[in-house]
Amino acid sequence: MSVIFGERVRTLRKARGLSQKQISIITRLDRSYIGGVERGERNVSLYNIFKIATALDIKLDELFKDFDV
């Protein structure tokens, strides 16, 4: 679950040419937290999911499209 979510965040971030640092600045979440999310080490909360989606400029339903676990 978290691994799939993390991989998706990383893919989207890279597709947008953003660094973890930039996502960290936009979301005000620590860069190491963002790294942990991308490695699937975090059970991310709804607020932080929304912050990350906003930073990636993607709607939640798009972020979770075909999110089969």
Task: Give the sign of the dihedral formed by CA 53, CA 8, CA 4, CA 2.
Answer: negative
Q: How far apart are CA 4 and CA 61, in angstroms?
A: 15
Residue 62 near a copy of itself by CB under 8 A: yes
* Residue 13: CB minimum distance to a copy of itself, A: 17
Contact in structure between 37 and 5 (CB atoms under 8 Å): yes
Binding map of a copy of itself across residues 20-59, x = CB under 8 A, - = no contact: -----------------------xxxxx-xx--------x
Tokens of 60: 């939640």
Q: Would you tell me which residues interact with a copy of itself (CB under 8 A)? A: 1-2, 5, 43-47, 49-50, 59-69
